[in-house]
Structure formats: C-alpha cells, structure tokens
Structure 1
C-alpha cells in the first residue's frame, strides 16, 4: 500500500520524504565546525533530515505564499541543449533564485531567527531538489509529471517514479539507506563531489534527465528500469548529501551570528 501511494501522480515533490531525509543525514558528517554550529543555532534540536521535507509539507498550507509565491522554488527549467546560464529564471523565480535569496537571509545579521529557520529549511530542501534530475525540467512535460508510465503494473508518471518509486523499491528506511550509501562515499569521492555551485548540479541533473526517459512507446516499466537506473538515483542522493554539506560549509563560513 505504501509503495502504491508513493506512485500516485502528485505535484513535483523531489525525492519524496525518504530521499530528502537521506540527503540531510548524508550531509551531517561532512559539515565543518562553523556549519554544524550554525545549523544547531538556527534549528536547535531539529535535524537536517527532519528539516528537509518541511517546504513540501507546507505546500498544503492554503495561504497565498505557499500556494503561489513559493511554488516555483522547487525546480528550474533547462531545455535540452541549453545551459542554465543561457535560460535564467522566470519573473516568479525558481529554485536557483530561491537558494540565493535564502542564503542571503542566513547571512543577514538583522534577519530574525524565524526567518533564518525558514531560510535554512529551504536551503536544505532546494539542494536536494536540484539533485533530482527531473527538477531540472526540459520545459515540455512539467518535469516528467506529464509523462505517464506504469511501474510494476501500477499507473504513475516519470516524475513520481524518480521522487519515490525507485527509492521505495529498495524497501529501506531513510536511515538505513543513508548508512548504506554513506559507507560507499570514499574520501576521494567526497573531495571530488564537494562542489558548492548550483549551476554545476543543475547541469548534471539536466544531462541525466535526458537519459532516463523511457523509449517512445515503452511506458510499461519494471525490473529492467530499476536495474538500469537505481545506481544513478543512488549517486544523486550521495552527491546531494556531500554538496549540501559543501554549500552549508561555504555559507556559514561567512555567516554572521545572531
């Protein structure tokens, strides 16, 4: 029942709860001392894994802020053959501009603790979003939401499959998955992945996005798709965790305490 629910077509919610929590937990051992202190100062007892899903949870809030203003902050649009720098953001903003805005709030010595809590929760969430390949959408199918498929015989769409379906197929808790994936990250890999540049993450996601669409007419996906793409899904979670730490390390190196 849980997997069936996860595969029901829903608005774009990158990685689902498990994936976002995995990224938050994977980031923890790579935080610098100032970043760890900064996160603790703002979030208190709330872990990054716990904070990671808050922006998706709040999308059920009926206020105009959550239903309209914040809605575009979970994704970017990069048409095939383009770089993000060539396209930029629409007037309403996107995940890239939101990340810049909330990073500035965290650095702002005059921002309230409540504002910094909202900002840090969004930063944690958005870094995860930008590592889900379909959150760098091509502009033609709402990030795979309009690409209807079946997975293990159940109707879904490509976006939902990458949010939760592939992860759910593993039948692991977020802590189990984070432990397994974290054990694979060697110091050399962590060093090579520690790139706190969102445009680099977007470029990687867009390149992967173009490889994960099923062949035309092949909409019935099963174990073959799992075999072909689980490694890519796990890699993006691993990289997301390392990059979240790298981004926060840079962010809190210049943050002003309050």
Structure 2
C-alpha cells in the first residue's frame, strides 16, 4: 500500500533541467564531436542548430522511450544507500541496469557505432539524458524512500514530495532568479557564472559521478533537513517517509538548493561535452552517419494522412526510426515534419525502421 501511495518519479530535473544540460554541452563540443552529433540528429553543424536538436533529444527518454518500454525506467537512477561506502557503488547496479551502467553502455555504443533498437539518435538521446540524471542528487541516493519520492513536503511549492521539488521546483526557481524562464538563457548564464570550473569538470567515471551526487544528497538534502537514515535494502521496494511527517522547506533551504542545482546542471553540461569529445576525436566522415549504407535507398515520402487510396498507411518517425499504423503506437502524435509514410511493414523495415512495441 505504501508503494502504491508513493509513485516513483524518474524525471530528474524535469524537461527544463535536461534542456539546460544539453545547451551547455552543445556550447562546449569540439568541432569533431559537433560534426557527429549534427550528423546523428540530422541537423546542420551550426552550434545553435545542434543545441536545439540536443534539447529535443534530451527529453525523449522521459516522454517517448519510457512509455514505449517501461523496462527502461530503472535506467534513470542508481539506489546508493545513505550508509553505503564508495566500494558499494558497483553492487548497486546489478547487470548494468541503472544509470551508471547505461552511461557506460551508450558511450561505448556511440563510440563503436554499434547501436541498439533505438538507433544512433535514440542512443545519443539516452546518453544526453542519463548524464543529466546522474547529477540530480536524489537519483543516486536511497533512504528506503525511493530517492525521496516518499518524503512529503510542506511548502508553498506545488510539489507533492521532496524528489519532485528537486526535479522541477528548484529548476523553475533558478530560471526565475535569472529572470529568463527559458532553458537556453539559463544555460548561458550558468556557463558564464561557472566558466572558471570548466576545465576541472571533465568527464570522470560514471560510478564516481554517482558517488559525488550521493554525497551531495547526504549533506545538502538528508542531513540539511534532518531526515534520519534508515536501514536500506534497495531491492526490497519499500517506500517510507523516514520523518513520519511532511518536511518543511523554508526560503533559506530553497535558496541554497537553487545554488546547488545550478552548479550541478552546468557541471553536467560541461561533463557531457567532455564525454562526447572523448567519444568522437575525429570529424564525421561519409560512412559515419546513422544511415550509412542506405544511400541508394529511395527517400520516403512525408505525409500526414492515415490512408492513401483506401490502403493502410504505415507511418514512421524519422527521428526515432519507429513506425506505427492507425490505432497504435504514437501514430497520431508524431510531429508532421517527422512523419514518413510506407506502403507496407516490409517497406518500413527495409529502411531500418521497427514497429512500435505497443502495436499488436
């Protein structure tokens, strides 16, 4: 019953937070890495175009991939208990089925051009998103409370729990304090503020980043709010509020949290750029694109209608490389610019598309 009453959120930083990370990273890519990112996301090598494409990619795992495959949900966090030591981190990611394992996996896939069922654009979207996730302190901490999803809050915010406060409320406050309300403006302001730290914020091992975030959660969230440490067994799937009552978040705490979040967001952006720069040290060549080997394939026609001459139209999303048909998948939700029509399932699959998993 406790678990049912405390649904788990995996939306670290919310949409705006992930977009901030993406913009900071785009601003700090080398020319070589930028050419690969532009090629994979299908945009020009212009910095602004790359930033916009990376923003869009950064939120796909929350708004597209998790609905398509719920098994991806544990990939967004790692349950490091508050009493764990650094040596315990690896054991908290059994089978690589957590955010640290997936960062390592998708980094390798992109480096080796060995993509999984989401293709190059999907794999890059996962990596962008997961580097943002791992810098949200509550995505690397557990106190038998699902990363504070079960800790209710008493404040003037709309958030229902402490995790949600850190996911979205604090990011919105940060944007408002910069008087922007826009991820791009906030990202550029944070870049200027923390520019002296850029060189120090190069990519480090994913386990080390997770441990760093866990330590931040201990000191600036749990200890700062006097939340007691509970015996922790992440596999038990227990959802408790260690305090037994709502935690009060006063202005002083929220102001400090704004500063911590801003620092984490820009650090994530710097580190994401560093990681992508390590993956791609040479510019993209003609055989490096996600569609290499399909140069002789006839281009698909962009349409928005459901049928042509009374026949079922199979529509693919040119970004995700997933196709659907009327009544299933995201058929009616695809942006017109991304819609590609095929005469049959076979035609779609010959072009490298796969069927949406929720289609019969």
Q: TM-score, normalised by structure 1?
A: 0.86
Select which of 246, 250, 265 maps to 1:237. 265
Structure 2: give runs of 5+ residues left out of the alignment.
1-5, 44-51, 228-242, 290-360
RMSD between superposed Cα atoms in Å: 2.5
Query: After TM superposition, which residue ranges in structure 1, 4 or more long, deviate above 3 angstroms?
Result: 109-114
Aligned residue pairs total 246
Normalised to the residue count of structure 2, the TM-score between the two structures is 0.63
Q: Distance in 2 between matches of 1:132 and 1:257?
A: 33
Q: 1:243 to 1:221 in 2, by over 3 A?
A: same
Match of 1:86 among 88, 95, 100: 88
Structure 1 residue 160: Cα displacement = 0.4
Question: Residue 211 of structure 2 aligns with which residue?
Answer: 203
Matches within 5 A, 1:104-253: 104-109=108-113, 111=115, 115-138=119-142, 140-152=144-156, 154=158, 156-170=160-174, 171=176, 172-186=181-195, 188-211=196-219, 212-213=221-222, 214-216=225-227, 219-253=247-281
- Worse-superposed segment, 217-226 or 193-202: 217-226
Structure 2 distance, partners of 1:121, 1:19, is: 15
Larger RCO: Structure 1 or Structure 2 (Cα < 8 Å, ≥ 6 residues apart)? Answer: 1
Match of 2:77 in 1: 75
Instruction: Give the whole-Å Cα distance in 1 for the aligned partners of 2:257 and 2:113.
Output: 44
Larger C-alpha radius of gyration, 1 or 2? 2
Q: Secondary structure at the match of 2:280?
A: helix
Q: Structure 1's 207 and 149: CA in aligned 2 closer, same or farther, altered over 3 A?
A: same
Higher normalized helix content (fraction of residues) = 1
**Preserved contact between residue 66 and residue 73 of structure 2 (Cα < 8 Å):** no
User: Which residue of structure 2 lines up, in the alignment, with residue 4 of structure 1?
Assistant: none
Q: Separation in 2 of the partners of 1:112 and 1:76?
A: 22
Choose from 51, 61, 80 the match for 1:55.
61
Question: Can you list the C-alpha shifts for 1:158-190, whole angstroms capped at 9, x where unaligned?
Answer: 11000001111233211121121111122x410
Q: Secondary structure at the match of 1:47?
A: helix
Q: Structure 1 residue 33: deviation in Å? A: 1.4
CA contact 1:51–1:124 (8 Å) conserved in 2: yes
Compared CA separation, residues 83 and 125, structure 1 to 2 (3 A) = farther
Cα distance change of structure 1 residues 228 and 32 upon mapping to structure 2, 3 Å threshold:
same
Cα distance change on mapping 1:10 and 1:222 into 2, 3 Å? farther
Which range moved further: 99-108 or 34-43? 99-108
1:17 aligns with 2:20: no
Segments of structure 1 that go 5 or more residues without pairing to the other structure are 1-7
How many Å apart are 1:110 and its aligned residue? 5.3
Query: Is contact 2:153-2:249 (8 Å) kept?
Result: yes
